[in-house]
């Protein structure tokens, strides 16, 4: 594997000195880019795009051709694991992901296989290898998975949900059954991320999109505990380098200390928790990633600059900050505004670092 030309992102995750704050965007390869829409049309469908390593590589590289980002992220979907479990993932235009089968009974959970990535999802490690080769050491590659709780909500609800009524009812009425489902998912996700690491992913992120929908104690039981199992089982050093782990719970600001205690290298923050408050609470235990509201990118470049400056100042001096949005970039954002955002992070962050 090629030596990294820019390892700012990995160094910041390990809280090592950097010359400037690194930046990437969740969903940076996506519908806000016209070149992505062209690639998706060429693929025929979203899943066809995910399952073709060459096209997944093509769209992973697209934002890096436009912007001086400090990391690439594997182009895939969080629902690959439930799909490999045989639930029949499909996408309805304008409605998001749906499953042909749902998980509601003990028999349903018993019937679910543990996913073997190399057999059931070979296109994912193949895409990682293809992207690493294409990157040629330019920036690090991030692998990822959905968290067990987030995956379980889709599997029980049959798709997206506003209130997670069915998933929460299952968790509260039959916690043993929900834990059986979460255990299968935790085992599958751990193996899935480890295969991404072995294929070349240099950092991994666990996306807990819906953990914040749970009450405080329920979050710790049904979301954080399964993520702890994953963190405990991950390969943390590979190919002569540490492999940092980022844990991101949207809406999880009230549980940062408990999240830090599970052992990741970094925590992702959404925009509802001030980064100064988060840094004070977790100290030097973990790095922080975030946390600009993606909607700021609808504003004029001078307003974007003000927000970047404020977040950098709120974090303050020193390493341990990876600048990101507090959630994924939205499809209607002007690509020029995304470019202005990334440029501002690099330009304004030098003053907070001694390693120039």
160 among annotated binding-site residues: no
154 is in an annotated binding site: yes
Active site residue 238: no
Which is catalytic among the residues 77, 83, 265, 270? 77
Is 169 marked within a binding site?
no
The verdict on whether residue 172 carries a ligand-binding annotation is no
Tell me whether residue 15 is one of the annotated catalytic residues. no
Q: Is 279 annotated as a binding residue?
A: no
- Report d(CA 195, CA 222) in Å as an integer: 25
Tokens 């069915």 -> residue: 166
Q: For residue 232, what are the contacts with CB-CB under 8 A and spacing of at least 6?
A: 263
Asked whether residue 212 is marked as a ligand-binding residue, the answer is no
- Per the annotation, does 241 bind a ligand? no
The reply to whether 209 sits in an annotated binding site is yes
Residue 154 annotated as catalytic: yes
Q: Verify whether residue 27 is a known catalytic residue.
A: yes
CA distances from 249 to 83, 146, 184, 259, 278 (A): 22, 10, 20, 9, 13
Q: Is 161 exposed, middle or buried (0-12, 13-18, 19+ CB in 10 A)?
A: middle
305 is in an annotated binding site: no
The residue annotated as part of the active site, out of 19, 31, 220, 352, is 31
Among candidate residues 37, 40, 138, 241, the one labeled active-site is: 40
- Given the residues 11, 27, 132, 305, select the one marked as catalytic: 27
Q: Can 31 be counted among the known catalytic residues?
A: yes
Q: Which of 155-161's residues contact partners 24+ apart within 8 Å by CB, and which partners?
A: 155/82, 155/85, 155/87, 155/99, 155/102, 155/103, 155/181, 156/102, 156/103, 156/104, 156/181, 157/102, 158/98, 158/99, 158/102, 159/95, 159/96, 159/97, 159/98, 159/99, 160/95, 160/96, 160/97
* Active-site residue (options: 32, 36, 67, 154): 154
Which residues make up each annotated binding site for substrate? 27-31, 77, 154, 209, 327
Q: Which residues belong to the active site?
A: 27, 31, 40, 77, 154
């Amino acid at each position: 594997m090629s030596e990294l030309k820019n390892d700012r992102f990995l160094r910041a995750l390990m809280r090592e000195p950097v010359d400037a704050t690194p930046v990437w965007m969740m969903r940076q390869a996506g519908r806000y880019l016209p070149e992505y829409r062209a690639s998706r049309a060429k693929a025929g469908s979203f899943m066809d795009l995910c399952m073709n390593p060459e096209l997944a590589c093509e769209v992973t590289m697209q934002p890096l051709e436009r912007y001086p980002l400090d990391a690439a992220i594997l182009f895939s979907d969080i629902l690959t694991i439930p799909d490999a479990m045989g639930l029949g993932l499909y996408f309805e235009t304008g409605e998001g992901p749906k499953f042909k089968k749902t998980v509601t009974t003990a028999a349903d959970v018993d019937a679910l296989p543990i996913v073997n990535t190399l057999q059931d999802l070979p296109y994912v490690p193949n895409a990682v290898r293809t992207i690493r080769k294409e990157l040629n050491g330019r920036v690090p590659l991030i692998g990822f998975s959905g968290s067990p709780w987030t995956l379980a909500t889709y599997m029980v609800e049959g798709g997206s949900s506003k209130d997670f009524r069915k998933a929460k009812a299952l968790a509260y009425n039959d916690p043993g059954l929900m834990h059986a489902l979460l255990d299968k998912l935790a085992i599958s996700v751990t193996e899935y991320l480890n295969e991404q690491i072995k294929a070349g992913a240099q950092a991994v992120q666990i996306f807990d999109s819906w953990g914040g929908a749970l009450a405080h104690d329920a979050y710790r039981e049904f979301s954080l505990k399964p993520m702890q199992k994953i963190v405990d089982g991950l390969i943390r050093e590979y190919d002569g380098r540490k492999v940092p782990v980022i844990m991101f719970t949207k809406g999880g600001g009230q549980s940062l200390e408990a999240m830090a205690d599970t052992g990741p290298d970094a925590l992702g923050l959404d925009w509802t928790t001030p980064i100064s408050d988060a840094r004070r609470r977790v100290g030097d235990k973990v790095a922080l990633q975030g946390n600009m509201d993606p909607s700021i990118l609808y504003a004029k470049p001078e307003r974007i600059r003000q927000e970047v400056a404020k977040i950098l100042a709120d974090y303050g001096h020193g390493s341990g900050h990876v600048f990101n949005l507090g959630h994924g970039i939205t499809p209607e954002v002007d690509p020029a505004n995304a470019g202005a955002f990334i440029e501002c992070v690099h330009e304004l962050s030098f003053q907070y670092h001694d390693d120039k």
